[in-house]
Amino acid sequence: MRKISRLFLTALFAATLSGPTLAAGTVPGFSLSPQFDLSGKLAPGCKLFIIQAGTTSTPQNAYQDSGLTQVLPNPLTCDAAGRLGQFFVADGLIKVRLQTAAGVQITTLDNILVIGPSGGGGGGGGTIDPTTIFQTGAFMQFYGTGTLTGWVRANGRTIGSATSGATERANADTQALFVYLWGADANLAVSGGRGASAAADYAANKTIALPDLRGRAIAGLDDMGSSAAGRLTSTYFGASGTCLGCAGGAESRTLTLAQLPTGITSSGSNSITVGVGGTIAFTPNTIQNGTAGGGANGVFPFSSSNWTGISSISGTNSISVTSSNTSGAAHATASPMMLATIFIKL
């Protein structure tokens, strides 16, 4: 018996040394395992939500490969035999929620220890910090125009359950983002109006609108948990600078009369030349001259005899101009940009 045990341990040790080293852990009792409903029957089509430990419903990515690069949908869906496929998660602790295909909760388990290190094989190696993985609601720019697994485009369309009729994505994997957006931004429209809770609205197959970033750049809130900086105000931005999801600015502007510069002044000199023996006609028939001499208070009565033979008269003038231009055409205000697609994490 001892000999058999030694042979078994030797073979197991050799297999451990020669076998592939997995770069991720998994959740015992779920990965590659059949699942059962509350009556003890197999649960075909059941849903397993992968959630960050210690949170209510904050999702955490599960992966198809041990290198943690190929993101799986969340929730994972059981096959017709109630079996979950193989999946990997970052090591540490995890929370899972299992539901039937109809959405009836079977179990919720928190702080389950992930078996196997995500940063290397055996009992050592580094780890992957779940907080460094994209969280639900995170934005990402991608150089492409199509769809991405695990993401939806921030295009103002809608998400919801598989039977919701949502226009951007109608699928069970939208639940986490639906719940997050419902709580983060009360201005995002929910079909039929908001109900008692995000979970209730999702279960009622309602849809929620995605943030609309078409043709828009992203800027920081003017306060972001601090006092407002006053760099984005409603006077010029066109919306509150401290409102999540509020949009402002414009591609072009047409100036109004009130926006044109005021107090334009033009100064210069002038001269009048008259041929010898010529005359100058003024209306009225006097000319004011501020220098001493001549008539009373420097006012010279005009007559041709007084001005005959003058070759030139020189002086200065100041002219104040007020523009009546209302600016008939708009001018560009857009800064240099390069365009890509903005996604939001499910």
Half-sphere exposure of 164 (CA within 13 A, CB side): 29
Question: Quick one: pLDDT at residue 234?
Answer: 93
For residues 260 and 9, which has the higher predicted lDDT (pLDDT)? 260
**Is the full-model pTM beyond 0.95?**
no
| Residue at token pair 């004011």 | 288
Neighbouring residues of 92: CB distance < 8 A, sequence distance ≥ 6: 53, 113, 114, 118, 127, 130
Percent of the chain with pLDDT over 70: 69
**Which residues constitute the domain of residue 30?**
20-133
Phi, psi values for residue 301, rounded to 5°: -65, 140
Query: In 3D, which of 208, 143, 215 has the Cα closest to residue 177?
Result: 208
221 in Cβ contact with 244 (< 8 Å): yes
Pairing mode, strands 169-170 and 158-160: parallel
- Residue 305 domain-assigned? no
Domain count, the chain: 2
Question: Quick one: pLDDT at residue 258?
Answer: 76
SS3 182: helix
Query: How would residue 324 be classed by pLDDT, with cut points 50, 70 and 90?
Result: low
SS3 60: coil
- Residue 269 domain-assigned? no
Q: Is 80 exceeded by the pLDDT of residue 49?
A: yes
For the segment 85-114, the average pLDDT, to the nearest whole number, is 90
Highest mean pLDDT among 8-12, 163-167, 253-257, 293-297: 163-167
Euclidean distance between CA atoms 217 and 333, whole angstroms: 13
CATH of the domain at 24: 2.170.14
For the segment 40-61, the average pLDDT, to the nearest whole number, is 92
Residues 203 and 346 in one domain: yes
For the segment 55-67, the average pLDDT, to the nearest whole number, is 88
Q: Is 60 exceeded by the pLDDT of residue 29?
A: yes
Query: How would residue 20 be classed by pLDDT, with cut points 50, 70 and 90?
Result: very low
Tell me: the pLDDT tens digits for 250-280?
Answer: 999 888 777 777 766 656 655 555 555 555 5
Among the residue ranges 15-19, 282-286, 334-338, the one predicted with the least confidence is: 15-19
For the segment 177-191, the average pLDDT, to the nearest whole number, is 95
| Residue at token pair 């033979």 | 309
How big is the chain, counted in residues?
Answer: 346
- Residue 92 domain-assigned? yes
Residues 24 and 126 in one domain: yes
Residues 24 and 76 in one domain: yes
Question: Quick one: pLDDT at residue 68?
Answer: 83
For the segment 189-210, the average pLDDT, to the nearest whole number, is 95
Question: Quick one: pLDDT at residue 297?
Answer: 43
For residues 175 and 324, which has the higher predicted lDDT (pLDDT)? 175
Q: What is the mean pLDDT of the chain?
A: 78
Residues 148 and 94 in one domain: no
SS (H, E, C) 256-300: CHHHCCCCEEEEEEEEEECCCCCCCCCCCCEEECCCCCCCHHHEE
Residues 117 and 191 in one domain: no
Q: Which of 109, 133, 157 represents a domain boundary (last residue)? A: 133
Query: How would residue 149 be classed by pLDDT, with cut points 50, 70 and 90?
Result: confident
For the segment 305-334, the average pLDDT, to the nearest whole number, is 63
Residues 116 and 179 in one domain: no
210 in Cβ contact with 154 (< 8 Å): yes
Is the peptide bond prior to 261 cis by the omega test (within 30 degrees of 0)?
A: no
For residues 118 and 245, which has the higher predicted lDDT (pLDDT)? 245
Residues 128 and 148 in one domain: no
